[in-house]
Structure 1
Amino acid sequence: MSSAVRARHEQSAPEPWPRGVPRDPVMSIGQVVEALVGEFPAITVSKIRFLEEQGLVSPTRSGSGYRKYSRADIERIRFVLIQQRDSYAPLKIIGDQLRALDAGHDVEVAPTARVVTSEGHVVVPPNRPSLPARDLADLTGTDLGTLERYARFGLITPDLAGYFPSRCVQVVQLLLTLEQEGVDARNLRPVRSGAERNADLIDQTVSSQRSRQRAGDLERATSRATELGELVADLHREMLRVSLAQLNGTSRQPSR
């Protein structure tokens, strides 16, 4: 590509997302953590470095090699953290979303669960690792008796204090839908057992990486576990489709 053509291409290419946000590299990585920790208490320097390794943010390097970040860099990091927190999206998907935004496309962001109140406090499940049974019932539109029944079947499990993982919101919603379609919930325990076996398999796969205790290794292992979980879920879905197709094919065989 000639220099003239390259120059025209660069002029026509859209500005990377977010647009209209200052790109002066004036902040250190420590200042970025300070800017985000109020909204994301778990943010760390190693987390930001890991996002750079994954190509999700590209800070400028000073002459002495130090990372320097702009307001636009902070907005990209905030987008990644929000997607992880609110929609549990793996980094591969988030990277695809950022590339689409860079290219000028709109990205549909998964909605968060509605806000409820618990003992006078506002509760947003994606921001909390666990929920009391009452909040879980309110968010899913069911009652405590139904939750107790699901727990008795081994489909959801509270901790010793009676709190459920916030991800149980989606689990309960799916269980309710399956029951509406005529599936007996007590027969779904093997699905939970299979998920636990798959989680153990994934944990064993990434455990060696998690145990290194170097900066960024925990984030890398967590991200890899999420990616492997998505792949296993895809495999399960496709195998289920194959099995259903085989059953349907058998049911259509003429009797002899």
Structure 2
Amino acid sequence: MTGSAARIRDARPAAGVSSWPHDADHSPELSIGRVVEELAEEFPAISLSKVRYLESEGLVNPARTGAGYRKYSAADVERLRYVLAEQRDSFTPLSVIRSQLDALDAGHTPTRRRVAQVVSSEGQTVSLGGRRAIPASDLADLTGVDMDTLERYSRLGLITPDLAGYFPARCVHAVTAIARLECAGVDVRVLRAVRQGAERSADIIDQTVSSQRGRGRGADRERARARAIELGDLFAELHREMLTVAVSALSDERI
């Protein structure tokens, strides 16, 4: 990773500076609009609302003027650049990024999320690299789920291969979660409703960003893609919070 990520290897707190990057200017002099301008070239989909959202998630902590206006430092900009790059390049969840920043704040090198994984398939070493789709054999190796179970998940409509029998690389996480739920006693047939709900959310996101995607220019497509990822994070957050409320409402007798 370039920019701020290149400086994380040996980040040590400077005197009086508690947040990373420790060697950057922490003087709060930038408005939120200026921060967006600073980041827009590298992250075209950045917006005022995105910066505020990352603040609400505890990933950046700008100063406030007496009138309540946010003021950011050069260090804050670097933190935001780190967060946005992790989301874009590795699809890293915000909770993981927050832990990474906590490690950096303490002067440690964080455990980085690895995108490429090396697995064995039919005796051959296979690197996922940047592949978007993987064969069922690699999916089984990555998840520890046997081929019969993958076929069963596929018949149930929980995962779907393409015409060549390849699965989206992101299915690794889905299959792992499905297998853990099954081990916990959940009848995986009911999980079809979860996938249907996810697809309905994806339809809403698609409708929201379609106007940007429809212009056809490369920059517009990139903005639409980044916006879709951002909205996906928000939908996932909403689902998690609603599920927490619903589970909390269950009586002891029903549990």
- The two structures have a TM-score, normalised by structure 2, of 0.61
SS in structure 2 at match of 1:212:
coil
Q: Is 1:182 paired with 2:185?
A: yes
How many residue pairs align between the two structures? 194
Amino acid corresponding to residue 238 of structure 1 in structure 2: E
Describe the shift of the 1:113–1:178 C-alpha distance in structure 2 as closer, same or farther (beyond 3 A).
farther
Structure 1 Cα separation of the partners of residues 212 and 157 of structure 2: 31
Point out the structure with max Rg over C-alpha.
1
SS in structure 1 at match of 2:167:
strand
Native 8 Å contact 2:119 2:141 kept in 1: yes
Native 8 Å contact 2:86 2:92 kept in 1: no
Matched residue, 1:199: 202
Structure 2 Cα separation of the partners of residues 80 and 205 of structure 1: 21
Describe the shift of the 1:142–1:206 C-alpha distance in structure 2 as closer, same or farther (beyond 3 A).
same
- Distance apart, 1:77 and its partner CA: 8.8
Native 8 Å contact 2:201 2:235 kept in 1: yes
Consecutive unaligned residues of structure 1, counting only runs of 5 or more, are: 1-10, 18-47, 56-75
Matched residue, 2:136: 133
Matched residue, 2:112: 109
SS in structure 2 at match of 1:158:
coil
- Distance apart, 1:187 and its partner CA: 1.4
Tell me how large the CA RMSD over aligned residues is.
4.0
- Distance apart, 1:121 and its partner CA: 5.9
Describe the shift of the 1:53–1:83 C-alpha distance in structure 2 as closer, same or farther (beyond 3 A).
closer
**Paired-residue identity, %:** 52
- Distance apart, 1:183 and its partner CA: 0.4
Describe the shift of the 1:131–1:215 C-alpha distance in structure 2 as closer, same or farther (beyond 3 A).
closer
Native 8 Å contact 1:209 1:221 kept in 2: yes
Consecutive unaligned residues of structure 2, counting only runs of 5 or more, are: 1-14, 26-39, 48-79
- Distance apart, 1:53 and its partner CA: 7.2
Amino acid corresponding to residue 15 of structure 1 in structure 2: D
> What pairs up with 1:127-166 in 2 under 5 angstroms?
127-166=130-169
Amino acid corresponding to residue 196 of structure 2 in structure 1: S
- The two structures have a TM-score, normalised by structure 1, of 0.61
Native 8 Å contact 1:50 1:219 kept in 2: no
Q: Is 1:240 paired with 2:243?
A: yes
Native 8 Å contact 1:50 1:220 kept in 2: no
SS in structure 2 at match of 1:109:
coil
> What pairs up with 1:208-247 in 2 under 5 angstroms?
208-247=211-250
